[in-house]
Amino acid sequence: MDNEATTFAEMRQDMVARQLAGRGIDDTAVLQAFLTVPRELFVPREYRQNAYDDTPLPIPNKQTISQPYVVAYMFSLLQLQPTDRVLEIGTGSGYAAALLSQIVADVYTVERHQNLVEYARKRLAYLHYNNVHVHHGDGTVGWAAHAPYNSIIV
């Protein structure tokens, strides 16, 4: 592992310990997902050093990658199970879908911006998150072809 990867791994561990577990997130599957998924690969290069800050970060199309604590809290409330099928509205960079892929059986995610669909697909494929299915479309109509879902995340 090179120095940059080691630094990011340490930052990821610190984020989970302080920002998530330290603030009451106790779902072990959620915590493990955050320990596993490299958030730095889902943000533009110029923001990688801030990847583990507990704040939203800009991505293309004037969108943001969500604050880690908010995502962890939301996932914990859903009480996700390994056999679940989840619909995510708003793929963005693909980070939340990548996290979900470590917790549930299948993730279906809809994004309205074609360039973000490609951005997310590229990262998800590179990291071998093969149970994430990305669709270019209008999230307000969902993705009926794969319904029903155990949970829907917006």
The residue ranges of every structural domain in the chain are: 3-153
pLDDT digits (tens, 9 = 90+) for 116-132: 999 999 999 999 999 99
Describe the crossing of helices 28-36 and 3-14 by its angle, rounded to 10 degrees.
160
What is the CA angle 60-32-100, rounded to 5?
45
Instruction: Quick: pLDDT tens for 37-89.
Output: 999 999 999 999 999 999 999 999 999 999 999 999 999 999 999 999 999 99
What distance in Å separates the CA atoms of residue 46 and residue 80, rounded to the nearest whole number?
A: 33
Catalytic residue IDs:
66
Q: In this structure, which CATH number among 3.40.50.460, 2.60.40.640, 3.40.50.150, 3.90.1150.10 belongs to the domain 3-153?
A: 3.40.50.150
**Cβ atoms of residues 106 and 86 within 8 Å:** yes
* pTM score of the predicted model: 0.95
